[in-house]
Chains A and B, each alone.
Chain A
Amino acid sequence: MASSMIEPLGASGAIQKQIRLPFSKAVQIAWRNIRVRLARSLLVMSGIVLALAFLAYILCSDALVRSLITAGGPLVESLQKEGKLARMTSTDVSAQTWWLVGLALLVSFVGILNAMLMSVTERFSEIGTMKCLGALDSLIVELFLLETLFQGFVGTAIGIAIGLALVFLESLFTYGAEAWTLLPGATLAKLLGLCVLVGIGLTIAGALYPAWRAAKMQPVDAMRTEI
């Protein structure tokens, strides 16, 4: 035992490799952290769900109307006669609506940021302890990002599903199910992909600063009894 302890530290390259946490373990820890703060996680998630549902709804219903107008034909003409579909070729979503979408996204971003900052403050000594045990800054960032991403993924998925369901139901009653055959699958996939990107991007943007703050904290500060 004594002989191994006298051994000097190796080169820094060799040392770096030794401080790591298997990804599965990191996922496990992040998941545990969500579970113990379930109410707050659900609140953050609901913000993401609402914003993404709104975004998906606006994008998809706009695309549907556009594809209807572009397609033309008897269905579209009859719809236009009934006044259910505007005659103009550009039924662009109004600037006002985009403002609302932007606001919804902003609110959900602030929600994530706020909740994660609270989480970091609450876990000051926990983070400090992890650092004392040898955790690197990158691990702390990883843990916080993972935790937020869980919420982001689930929130985004539910949000998109809700948004899509709303567009579908609405169009079913207004235009009939036939209208959906006119919307190219690729367009829909592209829009949904965009929604996923916005959802995940939003989550990461909201988590980056809190995660960075957690990682930059000095273990000494975290060890003080009163903060």
Chain B
Amino acid sequence: MNPSDPSHSTMSTPREGSDLLAVHVVRAVGVRKTYHLGGEAVHALRGAHLSVKRGEYVSIMGPSGSGKSTLFNMIGGLDKPDEGRVFIDEVDIAALDTFELAWLRCHKIGYIFQTFNLIPVASALDNVMMPMVLAGMTQADAQDKAVGLLKKVGLGDRLLHKSVELSGGQQQRVAVARALANDPAIVLADEPTGNLDLHTGEEIIRMLEELKNEFHVTILTATHDHKMLAASDRVVYLSDGQITSIKNRGELDIKIGHIGEKH
């Protein structure tokens, strides 16, 4: 498939022509993916196009089975498309071997999961240090940076707590700090508020928004959470393996509720 072919008419992203290379940190072009489950072909993605600008906060919305996770995993370098191409920082992930993919995941992408996924037996500090140590940073440097990040997410007094000793919200803060450890180009958050109560979820969303502005990091979330949508610059709607619409923040018809209020 020709990567420059803008055949998908429903894509409403403005194309910046020659600026495209520098501006877009993620580009998915005509992505198709078919899974074979029990002999039956499941078309998870049927030609999805998406471009995400550097420093943007984009939410991907869609019912389960819409291909949301598949698209997400591809952008995260966890899965490869059958057809079409996914570029992260203008690198075609399909062309990468295992080592390069691991490198990409380590240096360019920060992950935040619905279930937090901290290493349960390790301290908050060790969890945040892990990606940096994997990236080859010295223990001392990694520790300094991890302490700084944990302070930033408000856990300066819980550095040595194991994740089992932390509340859900605190665990997710550790995960946010861990995601930012290697100064990634993209932070991928898969339902980051899914396992949190309303108030804690809002705190995490607010924190992500602040960090986005401070670190100029691109944030991509998959979510059902309307509070999350309100914080997004753009919302991408996915249905049946295709992107059906992309709305900018201004076009969103969402009751913001009490976001931004102090509790």
**A residues adjacent to B (C-beta < 8 A):** 1-2, 5-6, 8-9, 12, 15-22, 25, 32-33, 35-36, 125-126, 128-137, 139, 218-220, 223, 225
Contacts and interface: CB of A to CB of B under 8 A. Distances in A.
Contacts of A32: 121-122
Given A1-B183, A18-B135, A219-B78, A134 B117 contact: no
A193 to B, nearest CB: 36
Given A2-B216, A9-B103, A132-B76, A19 B135 contact: yes
Contacts of A12: 97, 99-100
A6 B113 CA distance: 26
13 contacts: A1-B183, A2-B216, A5-B185, A12-B97, A22-B133, A129-B113, A131-B102, A134-B103, A134-B135, A136-B99, A219-B78, A223-B78, A225-B115
Interface string B233-248: 0000000000000000
A135 B89 contact: no
Contacts of A5: 25, 54, 89, 108, 183, 185
A134 B121 contact: no
Nearest to A139: B134
Interface of B: 22, 25, 54, 73, 76, 78-79, 89-91, 96-100, 102-109, 111, 113-115, 117-122, 130-131, 133-136, 139, 178, 183, 185, 190, 216
A19 B120 contact: no
Given A19-B135, A25-B133, A223-B117, 20 more contacts: A2-B54, A5-B25, A12-B99, A15-B99, A15-B100, A18-B106, A18-B135, A19-B99, A21-B133, A36-B121, A125-B117, A126-B120, A129-B118, A129-B119, A132-B105, A132-B111, A132-B117, A133-B105, A136-B99, A137-B98
Q: What are the 4 closest A-B residue pairs judged by CB atoms, nearest first?
A: A134-B106, A15-B103, A129-B117, A36-B121
User: What is the predominant secondary structure among interface residues of chain A facing chain B?
Assistant: helix
Nearest to B216: A1
Contact of B100 (A9, A35, A135): A9
Contacts, number: 110
A150 to B, nearest CB: 15
Contact of B78 (A2, A9, A16, A220): A220
A135 B134 contact: yes
B195 to A, nearest CB: 9
A133 B134 contact: yes
Nearest to A8: B91
Given A22-B133, A135-B134, A220-B78, A16 B117 contact: no
Contacts of B89: 5-6, 8
B91 A19 contact: no
Contacts of B117: 125-126, 128-129, 132, 223
Contacts of A133: 105-106, 111, 130-131, 134, 178
A131 B98 CA distance: 11
A19 B137 CA distance: 10
A45 B106 CA distance: 35
B133 A134 contact: no
Nearest to B218: A5
Contacts of A19: 99, 102-103, 106, 134-136
A36 to B, nearest CB: 5
Query: Looking at A9, A35, A125, A132, which has the most chain B CB atoms within 10 Å of its CB?
Result: A132
Contacts of A126: 117, 119-120
Contacts of B79: 220
Nearest to B108: A5
Nearest to A25: B133
A153 B91 CA distance: 45
Nearest to B107: A134
A136 B118 CA distance: 18
Contacts of B133: 21-22, 25
A220 B121 CA distance: 22
B73 A220 contact: yes
Contacts of A137: 98
Nearest to A222: B117
A69 to B, nearest CB: 55
Contacts of B135: 18-19, 134
A1 B183 CA distance: 9
Query: Looking at B107, B115, B117, which has the most chain A CB atoms within 10 Å of its CB?
Result: B117
A198 B223 CA distance: 53
